[in-house]
Every structure is written in C-alpha cells, then in structure tokens.
Structure 1
Amino acid sequence: MRPRNLEEYIGQDHIIGPGRLLRRAIQADQLTSVIFYGPPGTGKTTLARVIANHTKSNFVTLNAVLAGVQQIRDSIAAAEDQKRLYGRRTILFVDEVHRWNRAQQDALLPWVENGTIILIGATTENPFFEVNKALVSRSRVFQLKALQREDLMKAALACLSDAERGYGRWKVSFEDGALEHLVDTASGDARSLLNALELAVETSVPSWPPADGAVILIDKQCAEESIQKKVVLYDRDGDYHYDVISAFIKSLRGRDPDAALYWLARMIAAGEDPAFIFRRMIISACEDTGLADPHAITVVESCAAAFDRIGLPEGRFHLTHAALYLATAPKSNSAMAFFDALAAVEQEDTEVPNHLKDGNRDAEGFGHGQGYQYPHAWKDHWVAQQYLPDALAGRVFYSPSTQGHEGRIREEVLTRRELQIASIIEENPPEGPAEPGRYDRFHFGSQEAASLRPAGKGEILTFSPGGSRRDEWQKRTESNRSEALLQLRTAITGNAEILRHHRILVDGADDGLLIWEAGRLAPEGYACGLCRTPEGKALLEQYAKSLEELDRPELIAQSPGEENPFAAPFDRILARDPALTAEGVLAWIQARLPWCAPGALIVCSLAVPSRGMRLSSLIPADSEGLVEIRAAENDLYENPADPIFSWNAASLAAMLKDAELRGKLIPHVRKENRYVSEKDLRKWLSPESAYGNALGKRLTHSRIDDYAKKLEAAIRNGPVAWERFELICVIPASGEGARIPAD
C-alpha cells in the first residue's frame, strides 16, 4: 500500500501540500539535495520513492545499515557514467543516513558538491546532530511529523478499499470502535497501523486467503490484540531523548509543575539516567531561576547528594522535590548578562584602570593602585568609583529583574549604578563652559553643582565619550528611520503568526519591506508579491536573481482590481497601507477574502491620516498665533467631508462590524528621529499644498511667515521627533475570532 505518486501520498501537507516548495521542486524535477527527518512510519522512504517515480534522473537506493564505502564508490562511478554518457543526473537515496560513520558520509561530499549526485537522506535522528555538518549545509532539511488521526484513517480506508494491493476483494467490516482503536493507538505511525490491520484481517478467517467477496468481521478484542500498547517512545541515545529533556526544562522555566512532573515521570519510566536529569536541573537553577531565588542551586545540589546516598526507587522523591522547587520558584535569567560582557571583551581591547591594578608589585615604579578607594573604609562598606575600563565606562550588562530576591535588591543596585555613573562624569566632565540649566555639566560633588541641581533625584540618561567617538555615536543615533521600519515589519509579521510552511502573499510588495521577510519566515512554503507597478516588479526581480531559483518569490505586476492570478489559496496575506480611506480598506479586504485558504489571516498596517503628525507640535507651546495654527490644522485633519481624513480606528471598526468581518485593530505608534529640510517646510507651507491652503484660510501672510521662521529654528537643531499613528489590522478569513474594539 505504499503510495506511488504525489496524489496517493498521505499527510505532511506542511511540506508536500499544493504550492509548497518541495512539491513544486518534485513536479518541476528540479530537486536539490534534501534530508527527510522524522519519526518512524511518517513517509520518509515513501516520499523518496515518489520522487523516483516523478524524476527523469537516474535513481539509486542505498541503506546505510547495509552499505559500506565500496557500495558508495560503485554508486558514484555509475553516476559519473550516467552524467558523461547520457547527460543524466543521479539521485542517490540513502535510508537511515545517520547510521553511516563520518568517513562514509565524507565520501559523498565531493560528489554532492560538484553535482554528480543529488542526495536524498532519510533519518529518524536530528540531522543537525547526527549527520555531517558539511552534508547538512549542502542540503535542505524537511521535518516530517507524526501523522494525524485523519491521515491514518485515510490510509486504513484506502487499504480496505483497494482491490489490487489491499483488501478490497473482501467485505471487511469492523465492530464499533475497533478500527478507531487501531488508528488511535498507532501513534502517528502509518507502518504500525497497516501492520496491525494486516494482522487483524488475515487472522480473522480460518485460512488465508478466503474466497472473493467473503465477509470478514473484526471485533474490538481482535483489534486490541493486533496492535499492542506501545512502550514509551524514548531513546536515550536518540533525538527524542533531547526533545523530552527540552520539554522538561521548558516546563521548569515556564513554572508549570504539572508538566514538569509529567516529563520527569516519562524520563524515569524510560530509564533515563537520574544523574543527567540532576545535571540539567543544576544548570536551570542558575540559568532560569538565578538570583530571583539564590537558594535554588543549594536545594537542587542537596537533592542530588541525597539521591546519591539513597538511589532508586526512593530517590524519586528527591528528583520530584528538586523539580517542584524549580517549577514553583521565581524566575530570572539575568545571568545571561555574562554573554553581553563576553561580547564586549571580544570587541574591545581594553586596559585595566590604573587604580584597579595590583599595587603590591608596581606601585612605586608605575603608580599602580593609586587612587583606589577601599570600600570597607566607608560607611555601608561601599564607595562610588569606576570599576570598568575607561572605554566601557557607563556600560550596563546586568539588569536585575523584579522577581524574588532580585526584586528586593533591584533598587539598591540601580541606585549604586547611578552614583557610579555620576562619579565617572565628575572625574571626566564634558568639555565646554558651564551652562545654567545643564546641571550634568557640573561636578556633582561640588557645592556649586548642588546649588544648581534641580530639586529631587538627578537622573543621568546617557554617557558618551568625547571627541571623534562622540561624533560617531551621534551620527549613528540621530536618525532611526530604519529601526522604525523594522519595528513596523515586526508588528505586521508578528501578528500574522507565520509558520514555516505557509503560503504568503505580500500585496504591494514594491518597497521590499515584507516580501523578503516572508520568504525567510516560510522557507518550506511559498512567498509571492503582488507589485503595484511594473517598475517595482523589475526592481524586486533584480534583487531576486541573487537567490536560488526555488527561494525566489513569485512576482506579478497587477492592478488591485484583477482576479487572483495565483494557483493556490494563501494562508497569510500581508500589506502596508493598501488604501487611504476606510471604504478602500474594506473593499481591499473583501477583494482578498476569496484568495484565502481556511484558517488564513489578512494582516495589514494602516496609516490613519486624521491622527497624523501635527507640524505645530514642533514650535513652543506659548508661541503667538498657535491657537489659529491649530485651528487650521483641525480644519484639515478633522474634515468630515474628506474621505481621507474623515475616518479613525473607531469608525473603521464599526464599518468592519457592519460588513460582518471579525478581527482586531491594534494601535501602533511608529516613532523616528526625522530630518526635516527647509525644502520640506516650503513644500508643506505652500498654498498649493492641502496644509498650506488650510493655513491660508485662517492666518495672514505675515503670521504664516512668522510660523515658518519658528519651524526653521526647530529643525535647525537636528532631527525632530516624528510620530506616525498606524493600525495593525488582523482579519481571520473564516470570520472567526474575537472582535476587539479599537482604542
């Protein structure tokens, strides 16, 4: 009953369904080296045989359990002959590829590299651990999942109805619940199901085969005998070993004691080494619980020591005690700060500050240790001084959490850090004369500084070194437009909840912000872009040439009103500003709904012009004529007769509700430091612009000139804070989902 073609293949729709990358590659006979990874009975070998039936290439099969280096060499020699004599590629299928040792796997490398053979490997083990990294890097890895109940039922019914290869020649029937028992206990393994079905059918008659048309009844007892209850699926040396311990640690991290006990029991029932479990819990005590409960490491160590004295079976109490303690303890991963410090070490070649150097050896000759202040000589056994190298002064690595013990020490840690930074500034004051109101220019320790400091606790917001490094830092941080756009992209794709096998359409892909990210997020799926202009399509195609052919998104230039030009429906449709008006947004959504697969989402960002940036916010609040300026802005942004400005989040939500569309509108404020040029100001204030026209109806020419001068003064100081109010609109194609009122 092994499927012979893609149409007969059951399950794994996430990689082999219509429109998926792998299916397209098989149908086009453009397969590159691949590795199929998944549990037994999920269709890895079957998929390889399906490929063999579809391809025009020479197809060779090896089993890694039986084949050695000589068989590999023979296969490669045959592949070379096929390529030289007939110009045919050779596809080499290696079952259980992880069984080969490193030398055997290395023997394939040159031939995979030069294209003599295309490798298809099948493995039940994680290829990133068990297969040569060089082979993995030259292959696409596809993970096959345990088959769903519906898939197994389909396989069973196909077997019972197939007269040529199955049991269609006889009238096989099942007692209520008997077939369902076989399916439910197969644990996603089609091979196990078909073996059990064969045993149940062929042992339910006195002799096999019976006459054609014979009635065969299978009761529930027979079904239970045909498929024995499986032992816990767990291999101490295999991938499931790592999956289960991963689930256990993540349950501890997530503070779920019930799940932690389940995974602990599963490991113990399968014979896992308790020392290994304790080792992982000792790591978790510092990595995940950390200083939120500094006693956690002591408790786990004590339980481990007690287990060593007691052993099994009573030692299960000590395993449980440690697991429950970690699963219920407050959490902090602030110890990860070490890796930030390590990155700084790798990037900076710094000197130990002179006052921290060892004064026992070189104090007299080099002055080492001079200036060091001994903390125990001070009240509370602490004094503010610099401990980091000069180049890293003011850097923050450790951020205490608000949990448990760290929550109690947090205020103290932050206060001391502020005082240390103040001490650094006092010792290294910024260049330039003192300016009233700029209290950070002064030595905080002096009476003069104290008299000029505003009431309350001073806060040091930044520390930047002087000279050219300060200039470079300023250039890097003055404009954050790219960062703001990335935040918008994250808001769109994050709310889309994209899976690796999704089919994604980016509507209006011309700017490239979403289309490449869609391809990265769904590498086993399908990404395509609907370009609003031929020029935009041409630009994207130019960039796409740098990608592998199967990685390139499909690009089409099409007007929004045309019908769906794509063959398969989409799991996600993404867009930026598909329309300027609420009516246009609704029409766009309704036009895209027929393009959606069941369970699909339409996600787009919408700029709300009525909540746009008011230019008047750049001038002082006490400016003369500001009332008239703001009134003119209101005339523009709150004009009910203008469809572009007459809508907001609430009115759009009401319009979607009237159209019986469910979903949510999520406010998103995009902030960026924007350079505004005098040319921009002239354009905006011109009577030809909508903004300038609105001003002209309220203000005199002289008042507009005065307003322009104030704006010029505001932009002269550098970039200005610019806000864009947008909505992230999420619409389920099925119409299901909670309606969240817009704020």
Structure 2
Amino acid sequence: MHRPLADEIRPKTLDEVVGQRHLLAPGGVLRRLIDAGTDANMVFYGPSGTGKTTVANIIAEKTHKTLYRLNATTASLQDVKDIIADVGTLLAPGGILLYLDEIQYFNKKQQQSLLEFMENGSLTLIASTTENPFFYVYNALLSRSSVFEFKSVPAEEIRPAVLRALEVMKTRTPLPLTWEPEVPALVAQGCGGDVRKSINAVELLCEAAVPKDGTLLLTEADAKALSQRSAMRYDRGGDAMYDAASALHKSIRGSDPDAALHYLARFLEAGDLITPCRRLLCAASEDVGLAYPQAITIVKSCVDTAMQLGLPEAQLPLAQAAILLATAPKSNSVCTGIMSAWADVKAGRGGDVPRELQNVHADSAGLEREQGYKYPHNYGHHWVRQQYLPDAIKNARYYHYGDNKTEQAAKSYWEKIKGPQ
C-alpha cells in the first residue's frame, strides 16, 4: 500500500517540526511540558497541516505511552471503551494516549463520556480541532485540558520542508530529478500555511513530471497549476469565514481600503457573496452612519447589483462599496445611540408612553381625555418643546452628535432652534 510522503518524512523530534515556534521553540511552554514528560490533557486548535498530529506522536514517544488515534467524524463511544480495555495490559504497559481528531464532531454526551477516563487516569487525551474549541468543546472537558493554538506556517518556514521532500524524491525517481529555481518557493507559498499539503504537492509534481533530455524537470508552470486556489483557507460557516468577515468589517472601520479589498477578494475567490454583502450593509450604518447618510443607499444599490450580476462581475459593485465605506468619514453615533436605548429597555427602564403621544383612536373606546399633543408643524421651524420620553427616563440622552461635518451641521442647526442640550 502506498504511504504518503508527508507521513513517511513526518518529524520525529520537536526540533524537526516546521513552524509553531511560539509553542515549540526552546523555552516555549508546550516544549517545556513535553520535555518534562507531561501527562496533561490537551486540546490542539488550528488549521490542518500545522503539526497537531505530529506533536501528539512525539508526546506519546516522550511519555512512553501507547498512542491510539480516533477521528470523531467516524468514531463512537464504543471505540473509546475498546481502547480503555487495553489499560494495564501488554498492549499499553505505559498507559494510553488517545489522540482524538476533529473533536467538534463529538456531541455533548460523547464528550462527557471521556471525563471519567480522564479523571481516573485511564488515558491522557489530546484532542484536536480546526474550529474554536471554546465554541465546540464541552466546558467540563476544557476545564480539564490545556488549550494550545497552532497557527498557519509562514511560507519561508515551509520552504526547507519542501526542499527536504524534493531531496527525498530525488532518490526515488527513475531519472535524475531537477526543478526550476522558483519551484520550492511557489509550492511553499501556494499551500496556504499547510505543511502536509506542500509535501503532497511535491509528490504530485514528481509523479506528473515529463521526461526531458534524460531528466525529470519540475516546472514553475506546473507548480503554479498544482497550488492554484490552495493558498486560501475558507470554510463556509467556520472560523476562517468569520475571521475574514471580521477583518473586512474592521478594515472598513479602520479606513483602510487596501485591506478591505484584500478580505473582500478572499470571499470572491471562495464564491461567497452573502457574507461580504451582510458586512458591507452593516458597516454602512454601524461605522459610517450619519457622517455620510447616503452611504447606506449606495451600498444597498451595490449589493443588489452584485447579487443580480453574480460572479465574476459582482466583484466591481462590491469593490465600489468597500472602497466607498473605507474612505468615507466615520461615525458610530447610530450604533452607540441604539445600544444605549436598547440597554434601558432590556433593564426595564421606561414607563407609560406620555399621554400626549398616545394613540388618539383609543379615545373612541370611551376614554375621553384631553391629550394635549402639540403638532410641531404648527410652530416656527416645525418644532415645539414637549416631552416625548416616559417620565422615568425623561432626561435620558442616547444620541450624541458625531464630530463629522454632517452631524455637526445638524447639531448647529438644532442648537439655534432648541438652545444647547
């Protein structure tokens, strides 16, 4: 049976692991725990191909435990019980380390079932997940584990692993193997921080290489084609999607049109129009708001146009909206105003609607009372002083004018009419 190259050259020591220097460099907290022979339960969180399984293998070797692997997408509670049955036998003389991949696919009951074995020392658990464990892993299990975040590996750190894989493949090919100068960098850059994917790409490149002048030449064109669309991590509904949406919104809020276009392009590459449209519409009110009131109308038109056009043409109106919002003057007065008002409502602060504002049609039920409502259009500047808020919060102030030109103009206008507030 064919053994993937990535598995065959998997690092055997912490010094050979590519990336994760924040955890595994000398003095790193995880490095120190492993060197001390830790029995701690752990949760490894991060993208695929960043060394989670490799580090679990090394921990098992360091602690002289028998390593069992389960994938939560297919495993059951019975599988866990079958593993526990080996405790204390010749199959696991030093104890058991269970590596449970994709733990987020275990439901709450299945995760709870692990607690008994973790607490009585029957097994040491290392669970891995590509999703945020604080959303998907049961709290009681998290409280008994240490969470370590594995990060995408930079291309410059992947490149040595690619060169190592190429050297290994040179010993296996029937003809001498050579490659064009930029091939290692293209593979490292094109695999999106995934070391395993980069090693697999090397293997595929070698298998697809065409003999030329008595050698096998790996071309830059083939490297580009093989890694096309691979550099981007995106999982609809997953952390990568929400991170990109957050980055798009915050780039707009931070008035950085270049960053806004970058994160928008990630969604376009993934074929997701819905998520950026929602973010753009939200930012128009949340972060631009009354500093440029027309922005929401323009953005809505851009979004509607994009949804009618579809990709690839949708890129143009959405880019227009992103640039408009990023370069527009900013105000969060709309956001802070409604949040303050809503907080009072949630807290029960309020009271009866003032009689002057009540629905006059209620009087037809025999509740004939003087309403006393003053119709503003009957007064100069279409305004008259009267109370609109309930008595209990009649002096509340939720909206505060922003410091932008538009809101300051409105403030000046009303101060002349109403006087300073």
- Do the structures match in fold with TM over 0.5? yes
DSSP 3-state at the match of 1:243: helix
Give how far 1:291 is off. 1.7
1-structure distance, mates of 2:81, 2:396: 58
1:529-565 per-residue CA deviation (whole Å, 9 max, x = no partner) reads xxxxxxxxxxxxxxxxxxxxxxxxxxxxxxxxxxxxx
Give how far 1:402 is off. 1.9
Partner of 2:402: 401
2-structure distance, mates of 1:348, 1:199: 64
1-structure distance, mates of 2:419, 2:140: 50
Partner of 1:152: 158
- Given candidates 25, 50, 55, the residue that maps to 1:17 is 25
1:331-383 per-residue CA deviation (whole Å, 9 max, x = no partner) reads 22222222233333444645347666748569xx9999878765445432334
Partner of 1:281: 280
Q: Could you say if the C-alpha distance between residues 126 and 404 of structure 1 is closer, same or farther in structure 2, counting changes exceeding 3 Å? A: farther
What is the TM-score of this pair, normalised by structure 1? Answer: 0.46
What is the TM-score of this pair, normalised by structure 2? Answer: 0.75
1:564-599 per-residue CA deviation (whole Å, 9 max, x = no partner) reads xxxxxxxxxxxxxxxxxxxxxxxxxxxxxxxxxxxx
Give how far 1:171 is off. 9.7
- Given candidates 223, 226, 229, the residue that maps to 1:228 is 226
Relative contact order (C-alpha < 8 Å, sep 6+): which is higher? 2
Q: Which amino acid aligns with 1:46?
A: T
Larger radius of gyration: 1
Give how far 1:58 is off. 5.3
Partner of 2:102: 96
2-structure distance, mates of 1:257, 1:376: 43
Q: Could you say if the C-alpha distance between residues 355 and 122 of structure 1 is closer, same or farther in structure 2, counting changes exceeding 3 Å? A: same
CA contact under 8 A between 1:5 and 1:53: conserved in structure 2? no
CA contact under 8 A between 1:34 and 1:120: conserved in structure 2? yes
1:167-208 per-residue CA deviation (whole Å, 9 max, x = no partner) reads 59x9977554444444343432222332344455688799xx
- Given candidates 38, 47, 60, the residue that maps to 1:52 is 60
Q: Could you say if the C-alpha distance between residues 255 and 66 of structure 1 is closer, same or farther in structure 2, counting changes exceeding 3 Å? A: same
Q: Which amino acid aligns with 1:299?
A: I
The structure that is helix-richer by fraction is 2
Q: Tell whether 2:351 aligns with 1:351.
A: yes
Q: Which amino acid aligns with 1:189?
A: D
Give how far 1:144 is off. 1.7
2-structure distance, mates of 1:308, 1:205: 44
CA contact under 8 A between 1:40 and 1:189: conserved in structure 2? yes
Give how far 1:245 is off. 2.9
Q: Could you say if the C-alpha distance between residues 223 and 72 of structure 1 is closer, same or farther in structure 2, counting changes exceeding 3 Å? A: farther
Q: Which amino acid aligns with 1:183?
A: A
Partner of 1:41: 49
Q: Which amino acid aligns with 1:325?
A: L
DSSP 3-state at the match of 2:128: strand
Q: Tell whether 2:37 aligns with 1:29.
A: yes
Unaligned runs of 5+ in 1: 207-215, 421-743
Partner of 2:321: 322
Note the 1:165-314 alignment, pairs <5 A.
176-198=181-203, 219-221=217-219, 224=222, 228-231=226-229, 233=232, 234-272=234-272, 274-307=273-306, 310-311=309-310, 314=313
2-structure distance, mates of 1:138, 1:368: 66
Q: Could you say if the C-alpha distance between residues 283 and 132 of structure 1 is closer, same or farther in structure 2, counting changes exceeding 3 Å? A: farther
2-structure distance, mates of 1:155, 1:391: 68
Partner of 1:689: none
CA contact under 8 A between 2:187 and 2:223: conserved in structure 1? no
CA contact under 8 A between 1:98 and 1:123: conserved in structure 2? yes
Aligned residues: CA RMSD: 4.4
CA contact under 8 A between 1:293 and 1:404: conserved in structure 2? no
Q: Could you say if the C-alpha distance between residues 28 and 299 of structure 1 is closer, same or farther in structure 2, counting changes exceeding 3 Å? A: same
Partner of 1:143: 149
DSSP 3-state at the match of 2:10: coil
CA contact under 8 A between 2:180 and 2:219: conserved in structure 1? no
1:238-283 per-residue CA deviation (whole Å, 9 max, x = no partner) reads 43333333333333333334443443343233222x3443233222
Partner of 1:562: none
CA contact under 8 A between 1:185 and 1:227: conserved in structure 2? no
2-structure distance, mates of 1:297, 1:153: 45
2-structure distance, mates of 1:141, 1:78: 27
Q: Which amino acid aligns with 1:400?
A: Y
Q: Could you say if the C-alpha distance between residues 20 and 396 of structure 1 is closer, same or farther in structure 2, counting changes exceeding 3 Å? A: farther
1-structure distance, mates of 2:96, 2:396: 57
Equivalenced residue count is 402
DSSP 3-state at the match of 2:14: coil
CA contact under 8 A between 1:200 and 1:226: conserved in structure 2? no
DSSP 3-state at the match of 1:108: helix
1-structure distance, mates of 2:26, 2:335: 43
Q: Percent identity?
A: 40
Q: Could you say if the C-alpha distance between residues 414 and 340 of structure 1 is closer, same or farther in structure 2, counting changes exceeding 3 Å? A: farther
2-structure distance, mates of 1:415, 1:17: 65
